[in-house]
Copies of this chain bind each other. A is one copy, B any other.
Amino acid sequence: RIEQDELRGNIMARSSNTQFALLGMLSFEPQSAYDMKKEMKQSTAFFWSESDGQIYPALHKMLDAGLVQVCDQEGGRDSKIVYEITEAGRQALRDWLEIPPLKKTIRNELLLKIFFGGNTSPDVIARHLSHQSYSFKEELRILDHEILPMIEQFKDSPHYPYWVMTLEHGVDLLKAKIAWAEKAENTLKKIDKD
Residues of A within 8 A of B (CB): 17, 20-21, 24, 27, 43-44, 46-49, 90, 93-94, 96-98, 100-120, 124-125, 127-128, 131-132, 135, 157-159, 161-166, 168-169, 172-173, 175-177, 179-180, 183-184, 187-188, 191
Contact of A17 among B21, B93, B109 (CB under 8 A): B109
Given the known interface contacts A48-B107, A107-B17, A109-B104, the answer about A114 and B27 at a Cβ–Cβ threshold of 8 Å is: no
Evaluate contact between A112 and B168: CB separation under 8 angstroms: no
Listed residue (A17, A113, A131, A179) with the most chain B CB atoms within 10 angstroms of its CB:
A113
Count identical subunits in the complex. 2
Given the known interface contacts A97-B113, A124-B97, A176-B173, the answer about A118 and B162 at a Cβ–Cβ threshold of 8 Å is: yes
Rounded to whole Å, the gap between the CB of A8 and the closest CB of chain B is 19
* Chain B neighbourhood of A116, CB < 8 A: 20, 24, 27, 93, 97, 162
Evaluate contact between A47 and B162: CB separation under 8 angstroms: no
Rounded to whole Å, the gap between the CB of A192 and the closest CB of chain B is 11
Evaluate contact between B159 and A118: CB separation under 8 angstroms: yes
A49, B49: Cα distance in complex, Å: 23
Evaluate contact between A111 and B176: CB separation under 8 angstroms: no
Listed residue (A131, A159, A179) with the most chain B CB atoms within 10 angstroms of its CB:
A159
Q: Contacts A20-B112, A101-B109, A102-B109 known; list 4 others, CB within 8 Å.
A: A47-B112, A94-B119, A97-B113, A101-B128
